[in-house]
Structure 1
Amino acid sequence: MDLRFTAEELAFRDEVRAFVREHLPEDIRAKVLSHQRVEKDDYVRWHRILNAKGWGAPKWPKEYGGTGWTTLQQLIFDIETGLAGAPRLLPFGLTMIGPVLMKYASPEMKARFLPRIPNVDDFWCQGYSEPGSGSDLASLKTRAVKKGDKYIVNGQKTWTTMAQFADWIFCLVRTDPDAKPQEGISMLLIDMKSPGVTVRPIVTLDGGHDVNETWFEDVEVPLENLVGEENRGWTYAKYLLGHERTGIAGLGHCYREMRQLKHYAQLADDGRGGKMIDDVRMRDKIARLEMDLMALEMLLLRVASGDGGKGPGPEASIVKIRGSELQQDIAMLQHEVAGPHGWPYAPQWLEPGVEVPVDGPAWAPAASSTYFDMRKTSIYGGATEVQKNIIAKMIIGLQG
């Protein structure tokens, strides 16, 4: 593999850098680089700036309003926007339900929903996990019963990220309770403003409110909101999860946080009159993470370029594990660099304009929040243990 960029790829990188430098709002950039909370309006503003440029759907084909970029261009875009301090693009529409609709939805459903995703005219969330049905997703119990020209949905979803902002949820429901678990599931698109939908917050370790419980009580959903065919939702769910797991790797995020880690190490005292970056053991830890980051980038290129247009296969589980672990390792080392200055922590310190009342660097408590937040990466999108089972069965060929 030739790891050198071509002249065209270097020109593309320069174009992305210049655009982001000129158009990324400074208040959003400051929040991201300071590990402060990024709100709904921040995400929507950035998406719409990109969409006005024609970059609202970096991984989509041109026929659906995407860029038609190569795999390498997509990675360059991810890295450069990450380094510049741009927030991650919302995955729910772009890399989760969007590809499913392109492959499985009716022409009418595609025309109705796909054009609205790149501009975030609809804010999406995911309705997969339930209490008792997370890793064992096929055991889900939320029911959808056909009644006239509607489905009546009852049940509960949990860990629904950003459901408090969402206009729509793509939801797995059981439509045939007598079939085998995987064969009785369908996928519905549900308007979150429908009567009977209730969202309740789940406050996480860092004091944030990204995830929720979502309840459905006699929610009416038009039959036309069924994705593809009834009782084939498990097929669509697996296809979606492949795209989600590949996206979880967060290459641009990792590049930015590695740079932040080095910056923190240059600022932090080592307790012996020097800086943390001067400690040979710290430099060794940073170097090891940099090698892991290079390996992750090569892995992403290999997986994304080798799918032949079919979408991510079981190799996405390898990407998901390595990306999750690397994000956690970088956050853990940031927290180590912060040392005792990172121990005091209050969620309100992550709000813009709030003064951090600690005797130490202002970035140190934010390093703690990132450490807390990154603990979830090895769980969402399918826990690491589940991914290892998939690798063992689908790639290595072991039978449990």
Structure 2
Amino acid sequence: MDFSFPPEVEAFRTEVKAFLAENFDESMLGVTHDGTMHVPELHAALAAEGWLAGPVPKELGGGGRTALESIVLNEEMQLARAPIDAMGVTVITAAILMEHGSDHLKETVVPALLNGEALTSFGYTEPESGSDVAAAATKAVKDGDEWVINGAKMWTTMAHIADYVILLTRTDPDVPKHKGLTFFLVPFDTPGMICTIRSKKWQHFSTSVP
């Protein structure tokens, strides 16, 4: 059985290596020690190549890359020790919004993500339940035309520099715990949002969003 990559994928690998040689060097590794996990210059260069959301079709502003090409991009980024946190969150968030987001989000937030103009973070993990999403206690209650969200998140990578956070909330406490959960994309400039760096262990930071 042949596990080698097709020639066109290996050609893309060569392209990625050349890109990293030009746009990344070890002087940028400090972001992995200070908890930022983000190099703006590298992020902008990835956006310019259309690689921030490679699997997204070109007509939607993405790179139109295949799954194998996306794997190669991640492989080479990690081999070079380049931070992939912002790229990874952007890829997932763009895919979620393209599949489930409103037209407004598709027209405003998605382009900002793919152009490298905005950053997001994931608000899943909580102080009392860890990464057990079914045990999420953050509540979202409908109040007229708005939702009021109360709770706390932790281990929220890049929250202290992000423009948005995808918050996992419980909107129906009366159904089994694996149901009644809703995601909200919340701007970090929303009144009442607080983000603090709580601890540093093994050179990784815990970012809390109470």
Fold match by TM threshold 0.5: yes
Structure 2 letter corresponding to 1:56: L
Tell me the residue number matched to 1:386: none
3-state SS in 2 of match to 1:182 = coil
Question: Is the CA contact (8 Å cut-off) linking 1:161 and 1:212 kept in structure 2?
Answer: yes
Question: Is the CA contact (8 Å cut-off) linking 2:52 and 2:116 kept in structure 1?
Answer: no
Question: Is the CA contact (8 Å cut-off) linking 2:121 and 2:159 kept in structure 1?
Answer: yes
Residue-by-residue CA offset, 1:322-353 (whole Å, 9 max, x unaligned): xxxxxxxxxxxxxxxxxxxxxxxxxxxxxxxx
Q: CA deviation at 1:151?
A: 0.9
Matched, 1:120 2:127: no
Tell me the residue number matched to 2:207: 212
Matched, 1:105 2:122: no
Residue identity (%) = 34
Q: CA deviation at 1:45?
A: 1.5
Instruction: State the alpha-carbon separation in 1 of the partners of residues 124 and 9 from structure 2.
Output: 38
The structure in which a higher percent of residues are helix is 1
Kindly report the root-mean-square deviation, in angstroms, between the aligned alpha carbons of the 2 structures. Answer: 2.5
Question: Is the CA contact (8 Å cut-off) linking 2:90 and 2:120 kept in structure 1?
Answer: yes
Structure 2 letter corresponding to 1:193: D
Q: CA deviation at 1:59?
A: 3.0
Instruction: State the alpha-carbon separation in 2 of the partners of residues 41 and 138 from structure 1.
Output: 28
Tell me the residue number matched to 1:202: 198
Structure 2 letter corresponding to 1:111: E
Q: CA deviation at 1:127?
A: 1.2
Question: Is the CA contact (8 Å cut-off) linking 1:47 and 1:118 kept in structure 2?
Answer: no
Instruction: State the alpha-carbon separation in 1 of the partners of residues 109 and 155 from structure 2.
Output: 24
Tell me the residue number matched to 1:94: 91
Tell me the residue number matched to 2:13: 13
2:180 to 184, 191, 201: 184
Give the alignment's TM-score, normalised by structure 2. 0.85
Mapping for residues 270-309 of structure 1, pairs under 5 Å: none
Q: CA deviation at 1:16?
A: 2.2
Q: CA deviation at 1:179?
A: 2.4
Question: Is the CA contact (8 Å cut-off) linking 2:37 and 2:83 kept in structure 1?
Answer: no
Matched, 1:144 2:140: yes
3-state SS in 2 of match to 1:117 = helix
Mapping for residues 328-339 of structure 1, pairs under 5 Å: none
Query: What is the total number of aligned residue pairs between the two structures?
Result: 209
Tell me the residue number matched to 1:62: 58
Question: Is the CA contact (8 Å cut-off) linking 2:38 and 2:85 kept in structure 1?
Answer: no
Give the alignment's TM-score, normalised by structure 1. 0.47
Question: Is the CA contact (8 Å cut-off) linking 1:43 and 1:89 kept in structure 2?
Answer: no
Instruction: State the alpha-carbon separation in 1 of the partners of residues 179 and 141 from structure 2.
Output: 16
Question: Is the CA contact (8 Å cut-off) linking 2:94 and 2:114 kept in structure 1?
Answer: no
Cα 1:6–1:132 change in 2 (3 A) is: closer
Cα 1:89–1:66 change in 2 (3 A) is: farther
Instruction: State the alpha-carbon separation in 2 of the partners of residues 16 and 112 from structure 1.
Output: 28
Tell me the residue number matched to 1:77: 73
Instruction: State the alpha-carbon separation in 1 of the partners of residues 31 and 191 from structure 2.
Output: 36
Q: CA deviation at 1:36?
A: 5.7
Question: Is the CA contact (8 Å cut-off) linking 2:35 and 2:204 kept in structure 1?
Answer: no
Q: CA deviation at 1:192?
A: 1.2
Question: Is the CA contact (8 Å cut-off) linking 1:31 and 1:37 kept in structure 2?
Answer: no
Q: CA deviation at 1:152?
A: 1.3
3-state SS in 2 of match to 1:170 = strand
Q: Which has the larger radius of gyration?
A: 1
Matched, 1:4 2:4: yes
Instruction: State the alpha-carbon separation in 2 of the partners of residues 42 and 117 from structure 1.
Output: 14
Q: CA deviation at 1:171?
A: 0.5
Structure 1 letter corresponding to 2:99: K
Question: Is the CA contact (8 Å cut-off) linking 1:31 and 1:38 kept in structure 2?
Answer: no
Q: CA deviation at 1:79?
A: 2.5
Cα 1:4–1:181 change in 2 (3 A) is: closer
Structure 2 gap ranges (5+): none
The structure in which a higher percent of residues are strand is 2
Q: CA deviation at 1:49?
A: 0.8
Instruction: State the alpha-carbon separation in 2 of the partners of residues 208 and 125 from structure 1.
Output: 16
